[in-house]
């Protein structure tokens, strides 16, 4: 494929009618021409990090109710889906993105690496820092990279994803509307310095006193914002020709110097 259309779903599905509403949203995205849909951060959970009170029922293993509803919705709507859940293993809980294809088959997972702990975002009280590292997921001829919220504020992660071959980096998030103007230049810079499309989608509204909100956004590799809206579904299309041009234009052609930077990082404290 030379193009891939992605839908950013600015909605949450934690209520009793969540499975039905999610399927309808994905069907709507499909009818708008989308090949892939992206949900906000843990969109099938309430925003439990509004407080420090951890609830065991917020987490599950793959095959639990939230992961199952997302897989089923992707299959029913016949669309790829990047969703998420708080996954629990024997020793830890992780805020995890899950990538399903249009058959509802799981392509892989990505854990949130940079976990905040502050008012309204008491996240380390609910899940641990991710340990899986970085990966890209082939989908319809393109390589998809994922970062979750705060991960996008550590650009070395996006640079690693680009070096691994990512064509687009998507970032589900949960952030306050008042901070949007701080985030916006980060996405533009990450696109410019990686040669990737960069996109992010937020939870849509206030929850438990936390003033969550802010637009969905998509940025071309040259730093041009090509989509920015508060709509329930915001679509954009990535094009192979645009990606290829970014990688031969400045700064895309500069070598990443992996060994040089790896050596420098290895001498620093975490």
Residue range 40-58, pLDDT digits in tens: 999 999 999 999 999 999 9
Tokens of 178: 């008042």
Q: Which residues of the chain have pLDDT under 70?
A: none
Instruction: State the pLDDT at residue 97.
Output: 99
Instruction: State the pLDDT at residue 269.
Output: 84
Calpha distance 223→196 (Å, rounded): 10
Q: How many CB atoms lie within 10 A of CB 73?
A: 28
The domain spanning residue 257 has which CATH number? 3.60.110.10
Tell me how many domains the chain contains: 1
Instruction: State the pLDDT at residue 270.
Output: 79
CB 102 within 8 A of CB 70: no
Distances (CA, A) of 263 to 223, 253, 255, 260, 266: 30, 22, 16, 5, 5
Instruction: State the pLDDT at residue 49.
Output: 98
Q: What is the pTM for the complete model shown?
A: 0.97
Tokens of 106: 């799981």
Domain that holds residue 32: 3-266
């Amino acid at each position: 494929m030379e193009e891939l259309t992605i839908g950013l779903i600015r909605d949450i599905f934690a209520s009793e009618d969540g499975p039905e509403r999610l399927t309808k949203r994905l069907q709507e995205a499909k009818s708008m021409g989308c090949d892939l849909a992206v949900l906000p951060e843990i969109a099938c959970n309430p925003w439990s990090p509004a407080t420090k009170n951890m609830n065991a029922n917020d987490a599950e293993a793959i095959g639990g109710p939230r992961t199952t509803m997302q897989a089923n919705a992707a299959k029913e709507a016949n669309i790829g889906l990047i969703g998420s859940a708080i996954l629990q293993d024997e020793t830890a809980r992780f805020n995890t993105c899950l990538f399903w294809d249009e058959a509802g088959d799981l392509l892989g997972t990505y854990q949130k690496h940079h976990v905040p702990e502050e008012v309204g975002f008491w996240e380390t009280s609910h899940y641990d820092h991710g340990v899986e590292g970085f990966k890209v997921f082939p989908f319809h001829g393109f390589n998809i990279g994922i970062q979750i919220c705060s991960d996008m504020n550590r650009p070395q992660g996006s640079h690693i994803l680009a070096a691994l071959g990512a064509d687009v980096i998507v970032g589900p998030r949960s952030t306050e509307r008042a901070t949007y103007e701080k985030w916006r230049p980060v996405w533009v810079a990450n696109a410019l310095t990686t040669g990737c499309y960069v996109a992010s989608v937020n939870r849509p509204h206030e929850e438990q006193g936390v003033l969550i909100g802010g637009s969905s956004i998509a940025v071309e590799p040259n730093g041009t914002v090509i989509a920015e809206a508060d709509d329930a579904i915001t679509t954009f299309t990535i094009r192979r020709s645009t990606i290829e041009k970014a990688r031969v234009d400045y700064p895309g052609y500069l070598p990443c110097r992996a060994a040089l930077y790896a050596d420098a990082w290895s001498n620093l404290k975490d």
